[in-house]
Structure 1
Amino acid sequence: MEETSRPHLVVLTGAGISAESGIQTFRAADGLWADHPIEEVATPEAWARDPERVLRFYDARRDQVRRARPNAAHKALAQLEREGFRVSIITQNIDDLHERAGSRQVVHLHGEILKARSSVDERMRYPLPRGGIALGDVCDKGSQLRPDVVWFGEAVPRFDDALELVAEADLLLVVGTSLAVMPAASLLDEAPLATPRVLVDPEASELTTAGVNGLALPAGEGVPLLTRHWRREGRLWLPETVFG
C-alpha cells in the first residue's frame, strides 16, 4: 500500500509521557527545575547573563535523559509503526525516548537536548553522544555552542512542519500534555474538522474540550490500550469499549 494512502496517526506528546520514564517536568514540585527559575536557565536573557550556569543546568538534564528508558507508551507507538501503520509524532519533549523506542518519524518542536548548536547559526547542530557542553566549545564558525533547545521567548523553528502533519491527520492522539504551552496547544485546532481527537492524560476529564475524546489514564496504560485495538482491527478507530 502506498505510504500516502494509509490512514495517518499523528501523535502530539508532552511532558507527561516522559515523566513516566522518570524525567522531571518544569512544573514539578521537585527535581531539577525546582531550584531553577525558568528565567534563570531557559531564556535567551539567562544565556547572555550567565552561560556557564545555563550549561551546567542542561548538563544535569542531559544526564537524566541518558539514564531514562522508553516506557510502555513510547514502545506501543513504535510497535504500531513497525506493524505497518503510518505514525508521525510531534513532541514538545527534548529527550530521545521516542527514537530509542523505535519511532522513525519524530518532530521535536522544542529541540533535542542530546545535540548542541551554534550560537550564531541554528542550522549548525552537533550530536552529543556523551558528555556535555563547556564554555569554550565552539562551532565551525568559532561561536560558542549552546543546547539545541528552544528557550522561552524564542521562535519554534519546526512549527510549520507540525502544522503540515496535523493538517493531514486521520486521527490525532494527544498524550501527556495540559495543552497549555503555546504555540503547540494550537495544533489541536489545525486538524481537519472530521478528524477524531483523543487526549490520553490522567486529568483528561478536566482538560478535554468539545470534540475531544478523553481517556483518563496515564500514558503507559492508555496508549497501549488504544494501540492494541488498532493493531487487532488493522485500522484507526474509537473503540466503544473504551469511549462508549
Structure 2
Amino acid sequence: MAEIQIKHYNKIVFFTGAGLSAESGIPTYRGKGGVWQEYNYEDFACQRAFDKDPQKVWEFHNKRREFINGCQPNEGHRIIAAVEQTKPQTMVITQNIDGMHQRAGSKKVIELHGSLWRVRCDREGTISENTDIPLKSMKCDCGEYLRPDIVWFEDPLDQQKIQQAVEAIFQSDLFVSIGTSGVVFPAAQLPAVAIQNSVPTVEINIESTPLSQLYQYRLQGPASEMLKQLCSDSD
C-alpha cells in the first residue's frame, strides 16, 4: 500500500457506514441479510409508525439496543480511534447509530443519523443520553412519548450536522470512506465535497458502490484489513 498512507496526513476525515459495524456482527441495512430485508421500515422506523403505535416501535428499538450492546467495537473502530490519538485533528463522520466509535475511544464523532443511545422529547425539544436496556420509561416527565434520537425514514437530516461535516471536510487533507453504500442521501454527497475541494479520497469497501469511480484510491476488502494496510508504517 505504497500509493497512499495515513502517516503522511494529519487532518483526516473518516466517513463510515454500516459496512464497518458489520464486522462487529451488526447487520447492515440494505445489503444481503440487512435489517430492512427482514423488517418493514413503515412498521418500525418512521414517524408515522411511531405516532400509530409508539410501544411497538420501542419494542423493536429495545431489541436493537440489547443486540448492539452485546456486540463489541472491531479492529477497524479501534484503528480509527488510535489514529485520532496520534493525529488529534482527525474527525469521524458516521452514518451509524450504534455508538461503536465512541466505545472504541473516538472523541470527535459527527453522527449524521443520530444515536440509538439518546432519546428526545419533541414537545419540550430536549435530548438526553439513555443507555437503559430496556427503556425504563417510554415517556418524558411532561407526558409525551420519548422517541429514539435517530433519523428515521422520511425524517430530514439535521442541517447543522451536515454543515459541521462539510466544514470538517473543507479543513481535511484526506477523506477515507469506509463501508458506506453511497446510496443514502444527502450523506452520499459528502465524498463529492472532498473531491470538489481537491482533498485526496480513499474508498474502503468489500464491493463497488455507485460512487466508487469518483475516488482516487480504492481498497476492496474487509474494513479492518484495509484500514490496517492504510495505516501501515511501511513504505
Shorter-chain TM-score range:
0.7 to 0.9
1:191-243 deviation digits (Å, cap 9, x = unpaired) = 253211000001148751234311001111111221224xx6xxxxxx7xxxx
**1:130 equivalenced with 2:124 (yes/no):** no
The residue matched to 1:173 in structure 2 has which SS?
Answer: strand
**1:110 equivalenced with 2:135 (yes/no):** no
Alignment of 1:1-244 (within 5 A): 7-30=10-33, 32-122=35-125, 124-133=126-135, 137-157=138-158, 158-191=161-194, 192-204=196-208, 207-229=211-233
Task: Give the alignment's TM-score, normalised by structure 1.
Answer: 0.84
Judged with a 3 Å threshold, the aligned counterparts in structure 2 of structure 1 residues 196 and 141 are, in CA distance, closer, same or farther, namely same
The residue matched to 1:181 in structure 2 has which SS?
Answer: coil
The residue matched to 1:198 in structure 2 has which SS?
Answer: strand
Structure 2 gap segments, 5+ residues each: 1-8
Using the TM superposition, name which of 21-30 and 9-18 deviates more. Answer: 21-30
CA shift, 1:69, in A, is 0.5
The residue matched to 2:206 in structure 1 has which SS?
Answer: coil
Q: Which amino acid aligns with 2:127?
A: R
1:94-138 deviation digits (Å, cap 9, x = unpaired) = 01110111111001000100111113244x12222222336x632
Kindly indicate whether the alpha-carbon contact (under 8 Å) linking 1:11 and 1:173 is maintained by their aligned counterparts in 2.
yes
Instruction: Please give the alpha-carbon distance, in whole angstroms, between the structure 2 residues aligned to 1:212 and 1:154.
Output: 32
Instruction: Please give the alpha-carbon distance, in whole angstroms, between the structure 1 residues aligned to 2:124 and 2:167.
Output: 25
The residue matched to 1:209 in structure 2 has which SS?
Answer: helix
Q: Which amino acid aligns with 1:146?
A: R
Q: Which amino acid aligns with 1:129?
A: T
Instruction: Please give the alpha-carbon distance, in whole angstroms, between the structure 1 residues aligned to 2:218 and 2:212.
Output: 6
The residue matched to 1:203 in structure 2 has which SS?
Answer: coil
Q: Which amino acid aligns with 2:154?
A: G
Instruction: Please give the alpha-carbon distance, in whole angstroms, between the structure 2 residues aligned to 1:31 and 1:211.
Output: 25
Size of the aligned set, in residue pairs, is 224
1:49-87 deviation digits (Å, cap 9, x = unpaired) = 221111111111111110111111101011111223521
Judged with a 3 Å threshold, the aligned counterparts in structure 2 of structure 1 residues 177 and 118 are, in CA distance, closer, same or farther, namely same
Instruction: Please give the alpha-carbon distance, in whole angstroms, between the structure 2 residues aligned to 1:38 and 1:188.
Output: 27
CA shift, 1:155, in A, is 1.5
Aligned partner of 2:6 in structure 1 is none
What RMSD in Å do the two structures reach over aligned CA positions?
2.1
Aligned partner of 2:4 in structure 1 is none
Q: Give % identity.
A: 34
Instruction: Please give the alpha-carbon distance, in whole angstroms, between the structure 2 residues aligned to 1:89 and 1:32.
Output: 24
Kindly indicate whether the alpha-carbon contact (under 8 Å) linking 1:74 and 1:101 is maintained by their aligned counterparts in 2.
yes
Judged with a 3 Å threshold, the aligned counterparts in structure 2 of structure 1 residues 29 and 226 are, in CA distance, closer, same or farther, namely closer
